[in-house]
Amino acid sequence: MTELIPAPRGATAGSGEVRLTRDSRLYADTATEGVGRWLSAALRQATGLPLREGRALDDAEGGIGLQLAPGLGPEEYRLVSDDSGVRVEGGSAAGVFWGAQTLRQLLGPDAYRRAPLGRDRAWTVPYLTIEDAPRFRWRGLMLDVARHFMPKDGVLRYLDLMAAHKLNVFHFHLTDDQGWRIEIKRHPRLTEIGSWRARTKTGHRASPLWEDKPHGGYYTQDDIREIVAYAAERHITVVPEIDVPGHSQAAIAAYPELGNTDVLAASVEGGAALSVWDTWGINPNVLAPTDNTLRFYEGVFEEVLELFPSEFVHVGGDECPKDQWRRSETAQARIRELGLADEDELQSWFIKHFDAWLSARGRRLIGWDEILEGGLAEGAAVSSWRGYAGGIAAARAGHDVVMCPEQQVYLDHRQDPGPEEPVPIGWVRTLEDVYRFEPVPPELTPEEARHVLGTQANLWTEVMEDHARVDYQAFPRLAAFAEVAWSALPAPAERDFAGFQRRMAAHYRRLDALGVAYRPPTGPLPWQRRPGVTGRPIDGPPPNR
């Protein structure tokens, strides 16, 4: 009971245990039948027990019952294990699903396997009562598939890993300078050209190493539909990100007219067309502020909205250098036409256009905290990544905020200062550092703090070439982050990290059963290291602002 991650709000132990057998049944009422299908499939493959369907709650005596309970919050659940079996009640199907995830943990690490181990064993749940609910409604993970493409099966696997940790928002970073990963039928060159690059920088952009082979891939619209449906079955919302107006070289490579053509030719050697970018960093090639660009991306977003039913659509808005706009007569003419003060206001105009466009279609825009520069449209939300300051400013201005400060929860940053850490990037963020992260800044008043929708960990994949590298950077820190996002923890300095480490000893066995290539507490295994690959370590503690 004490080994659960994330920690529940309250748990009371009883005396005895429920034993699941070949005669045990699983009952789900009409509202929870989707959860029942998921749980029965997961447990059948791991245990080999048939877990036949119960036709009434009484049929599940000695087994498992799933049902809604009036009075519980939308994601709240109650799990009771006693002499009548295991009952999971929730205020909605989502609450029941999170309770089912807790039940899976209680059954032991082998409950996470994809086939029985072929030996007789008892599948037991101790008598107890757990009452639990999340602290935040937005418990997110951002996965960047633009820098290094992750095939569809890998994305589905990460949705399962999110669900196992009670995370419920998957921020899907689909486009960037290095690749365009989503099929747009009216603009086929976005994937024909924009989804592939000729080679890839190995390590940080200062590294002399290259992987001299093409890299790329994209998701068809049916792939996206499958991913969104798979996530919905696990009560995870998928929030797509389509970057504008910066981080757009892959799109410009496919459709050069999207770029600042009156200055671009002079900046590319020999006047050649841009290609999909093969290195990392902040790219100077940004979208032109023209009507053609607006119409093009409206067409992109029309297809995106058909695929993603999420309330929020992420438009990026970060790291948009203004040099080309300063030199572009077309951009300067647009500034004069609109009566804008400068290029910052031009970016604000660009973002506000899509805010109004999305609002007219019942959606909400969210972007990185640079969208605050030049003024932010009413109703837009902010992902605060450059520390806490952007989130504080946005909340004080009445905007909703997702806290994801780079200094705290960018999981591409290194986990240890040791020389064996693979491709060391950024500040050291240990498991304990992430466990002591606090999403709500103390500077906010209670009224302002209500604008903090929640928090999100980010996985940028410049130096993560495959799923094993993503696993290494994500885990075990994502387990600590999940507890921060879900559980009502004390103030950071008062958190029981020793207790969390004790629970992690059991959780590592769950991750082993799931095949997660996490960083061991003792340091990287030999095949997890990347000797000789240049990183970008930053010394000292990260700024807490």
Encode 130-141: b = buried (16+ Cβ within 10 Å), e = exposed.
Answer: bbbbbbbebbbb
Contacts of 461 (CB under 8 A, 6+ apart): 143, 144, 145, 146, 147, 148, 150, 412, 469, 470
Residue 504 CA to residue 543 CA, distance in Å, equals: 28
Residue 530 CA to residue 545 CA, distance in Å, equals: 32
Contact 404, 455 (CB under 8 A): yes
Task: Read off the tokens for 40.
Answer: 């029965």
Contact 364, 346 (CB under 8 A): no
10 in helix, strand or coil?
Answer: strand
Contacts of 53 (CB under 8 A, 6+ apart): 25, 26, 27, 36, 40
Residue 237 CA to residue 138 CA, distance in Å, equals: 9
Taking alpha carbons only, the member of 430, 443, 438 closest to residue 491 is: 438
Neighbours of 10 (CB within 10 A): 12
Q: Tokens 């799931």 appear where?
A: 514
Residue 109 CA to residue 472 CA, distance in Å, equals: 20
Contacts of 412 (CB under 8 A, 6+ apart): 425, 426, 458, 459, 460, 461, 462, 463, 464, 473
* Maximum Cα interatomic distance, the chain, rounded to a whole number of Å: 79
Annotated active-site positions, please? Answer: 176, 247, 319
Pairing status of strand 52-53 against strand 25-28 = parallel
Beta strands in 77-137 (DSSP E): 77-82, 85-90, 123-132
256 φ/ψ angles, rounded to the nearest 5 degrees: -55, -25
Task: Read off the tokens for 107.
Answer: 């059954």
